[in-house]
Structure 1
C-alpha cells in the first residue's frame, strides 16, 4: 500500500538527524519568509473548493491552508541544501490564536498569505502568518495567525532538533520576545487549568449565583431546578459529529492532516453556534487549539461541540475530539478547540447544571475574556 511504503522510505532518513542543536546552522527570520497567493479572483476554477452556500469563503478551507503554510514555513527554516529530503517530520503542536480582522472573505478576490518563523525552541517553532485579500484596488488584512509546530524524527516517534534562530536588529528581537511571552502565557494558562486547580474565589461566586438562579423558590429543594428566562441548559446546547479517517486525508507521516481536523471541528462548532442562535454566526477568533495526540488512518473520530459561554451577541464554543478504536473500544482525546462567534442579536444565556458543566462554563468564560483582550 502506498502510505505504508512511504513510511518505510522515511525511516531510512534518520541518519541525517542532528545530534544536537549546535550542529545546525542558525537561520534568520528572512530565511523562512514565504508569500503564497490563492488566486480566487483570477482563477475561477479554484472557487468551487472554497465556496460555501452563502457565497462566501469556507473558513474551514482557510484553516487547512494555514496549517499547510505553517508546515512549509518550518521546512524552509530547517532546509538543508545538502539533502534531497528533510529527515524531519513537522507536525502541528497547537494553534496559539487566530484573530479575525475582517468579517467577510470574498469568494472572487485574490488572497495572499505571508508568514515566517518568529520564535524557536530546541524542537519547536512558532510561525506567524497573515492573510490579506485584494478588494477595492488594495490588499487589506483578513486575519493574523500564530501556530506552534514541533519537529520529530522521520517516523514521528520522538522530538528532533531544529535550527536555532539568528536575530537581526531590535525589531526581530521584539518579535522573538513576543514568542517567549506567548510560551509563558500558555504555561500559565495550563498551570491554572480547571482540570488541575480549583476555580478562583470570583469564579466560585459566579458558579454559585448561577446555581441559585436555577433553584425553585417554591420548593426550597436543591434537587428541583428551574431554567431562568431567556436561557438554555448547557446540556441542550450541544452537537455531535463523526468522521471516519480515510487515507485521502493523511499527511506525509501517515497520520490525519491537522488542517482537516481543524476544518471538521470548525464546521461542527459553527453549526452548533448557528443552531443555538438561530442565525448565521461570524467567526471572531480561534484560540488555543491543542493537538494532544496524532490521529491514525482508519480511526473513528468523534467530535462533540458545546456552547459553553455566551455574552451579549457572542458565543463561545468548545469542540472536543476523540478517537475511538473500534476493536478495543478505547477512547482517547486528540484535540480541544475553542471558537468565538458573533451573531446579529443577543443570544440566550447557557446555564450549567452539574459541577463539570460549571467548569466548562468558566473555562469558556476565560477563553472568551482572553480573546476579547486582543480585539
Structure 2
C-alpha cells in the first residue's frame, strides 16, 4: 500500500543496529559447570523456582562459587553468574500440558516471557551478591528493561526447553543479562552445545536495590580478558548506543524528522483516495484492533520486593497483543519477538492497571505486524492514568494466510505511534546494515 520509495531503508553512519544472535554466538558453557537435580532448583534459581512449575521439575546447571567473596566490590567473572535450566517437556506429559497451546505442540509465549524474566533476575542476583552476603544489607533486583527479544524458530512444548544466561555487561548499579533460549534435540544435558538449537535470545537490564530502602546499590564489576568477553562487551556497547538514539529521537519529545513529513502526507493521501474510491476497507483504523483490559493486582503476583512481578505484566501484555493481532488479521499470528520493553515505575499490590493494545504498523508486504501495548495505573475515582510500562511486540503471518490489511492511524497521536513503529521496523530489516530510523 505504501510507496516503496518512502519505505526504503537508508544507511546512516553512527546509528548501530544490535547484532542478531546466531548458533555460533550461543553463550559458552564453562568448563567447571555443575549439574544438579530438581531439588537443587530452589537453591540455585530461587526466584524462578517460586514462579515456575517447569523449573521445579527441571535440571539446573551452574558454576560453583566460593562461600564468600573477598569484597563486595571485587571484580567477578562472567561465569560466576552463569546459570542454566532445562525443562523436561519431552518426558513429562503433565508439565507439557501446562505450557502448550490448543494445537498440542506450540508453547504459550506469554508464560515463557514471564519465566524468562524471573530467570534473568536469578542470574543478576547471583552476580550482585558476589558469592556471599559479606555483611551487606539484603539485596533485591528489579527489571528496568528488556532490550530486544528475537525468536528465530517457533517455541515448542514437545521438545525440552533450555534457558542459559549470564551477566554480560555491568554499570554502576545495573547489570545486563543475556538469556539464550534453546531447544534440546536429545537428552544429552551435559554435552555442551551438541543437540541444541538456538531459538532466540534476549537482553535484560536489571537494577540492584537495597531491599530495605529500595535505593540503588552498586554492583561488582566484571572481569574481562578473553575474546568472548570482549565480543559481548562490544555488543553491549552497540545496544547502549541504540537505546540512546531511540531516547534522543523519541517522538514524545521531538517532532518528526523533516524527511518524514512526506511519508506522513502520503499516509493521509492514501487514506483520502481510498475513501473517495470506496476501497477504504483495505485500510483498518488503528482503534479497530484495540484490546483494553482492567485488572486488580493481587498478592499472588508480587515479587520478593513486594511489587507486582514484571514478568507477569509482560505475560498479560503479550496476551493482549496477540488478541489485537488476531482481531486485525482475522486469523492467529505467530509471535516472533519484542523490543525495548521499558518499566517506568513499579506496580503495587491492590492497584488497578489498564492493559491497552493495538496494531500500530503493518509492513508493505503484509507479513509482519507490530503491536504496541501500554500499561497504566488507573484511578477509578479520579480517572487519572499513570504510565507504568510499554511493550512493542512483533508477529508474523503464518504461511498460506491471506494478505494482512494495512493499519490506518486517525489521530495525531496514532500517527506518531505508526511512525515510531515504522522506525523500529526499518531498524529490524537488516542486522548487517545501519538504519537511520527515519
1:63 corresponds in structure 2 to 113
Cα distance in structure 1, aligned partners of 2:124 and 2:373: 27
Contact 1:281 1:343 in 2 (8 A): yes
Cα distance in structure 1, aligned partners of 2:124 and 2:186: 33
- Aligned residue runs from structure 1 range 240-279, under 5 A: 240-279=292-331
Which digits, 9 at most, give the CA deviation of each residue in 1:258-307, with x for residues without a partner?
A: 11000000010011101111111111221110000111101111011011
Which digits, 9 at most, give the CA deviation of each residue in 1:281-335, with x for residues without a partner?
A: 1112211100001111011110110111001211110001101134554310101
Q: 1:37 to 1:190 in 2, by over 3 A?
A: same
Contact 2:124 2:141 in 1 (8 A): yes
Count of residues paired in the alignment: 348
- Aligned residue runs from structure 1 range 158-177, under 5 A: 158-177=215-234
Q: Kindly indicate whether residue 383 of structure 2 is the aligned counterpart of residue 332 of structure 1.
A: no
Q: 1:86 to 1:75 in 2, by over 3 A?
A: farther
Contact 1:213 1:228 in 2 (8 A): no
Give 1:217 shift.
9.6
Say which is worse superposed, 185-194 or 134-143, in terms of deviation: 134-143
Give 1:50 shift.
0.9
2:60 corresponds in structure 1 to none
User: TM-score when scaled to structure 1?
Assistant: 0.87
Q: Kindly indicate whether residue 145 of structure 2 is the aligned counterpart of residue 94 of structure 1.
A: yes
Q: 1:191 to 1:51 in 2, by over 3 A?
A: same
Contact 1:127 1:146 in 2 (8 A): yes
Look up the SS of the partner of 1:293 in the other structure.
coil
Counterpart selection for 1:76 from 121, 126, 131: 126
Give 1:111 shift.
0.9
Counterpart selection for 1:150 from 207, 232, 240: 207
Look up the SS of the partner of 1:372 in the other structure.
coil
Cα distance in structure 1, aligned partners of 2:304 and 2:368: 38
- What's the Cα RMSD here? 2.2
1:18 corresponds in structure 2 to none
Counterpart selection for 2:103 from 27, 35, 54: 54
Give 1:214 shift.
2.6
Give 1:158 shift.
2.1
Contact 1:324 1:332 in 2 (8 A): yes
- Aligned residue runs from structure 1 range 149-298, under 5 A: 149-155=206-212, 157-215=214-272, 228-298=280-350
Cα distance in structure 1, aligned partners of 2:314 and 2:111: 9
Cα distance in structure 1, aligned partners of 2:132 and 2:339: 38
5+ residue gaps, structure 1: 1-21, 220-224
Which digits, 9 at most, give the CA deviation of each residue in 1:139-158, with x for residues without a partner?
A: 21111111111111214632
User: TM-score when scaled to structure 2?
Assistant: 0.75
Cα distance in structure 2, aligned partners of 1:51 and 1:217: 42
Cα distance in structure 2, aligned partners of 1:23 and 1:271: 46
Look up the SS of the partner of 1:270 in the other structure.
helix
Cα distance in structure 2, aligned partners of 1:46 and 1:160: 38
Give 1:81 shift.
4.2
2:87 corresponds in structure 1 to 38
Which digits, 9 at most, give the CA deviation of each residue in 1:145-181, with x for residues without a partner?
A: 1111111121463211111111131321121121122
Contact 1:215 1:226 in 2 (8 A): no
Counterpart selection for 1:301 from 338, 353, 358: 353
Give 1:226 shift.
7.4
5+ residue gaps, structure 2: 1-70, 188-194, 433-438
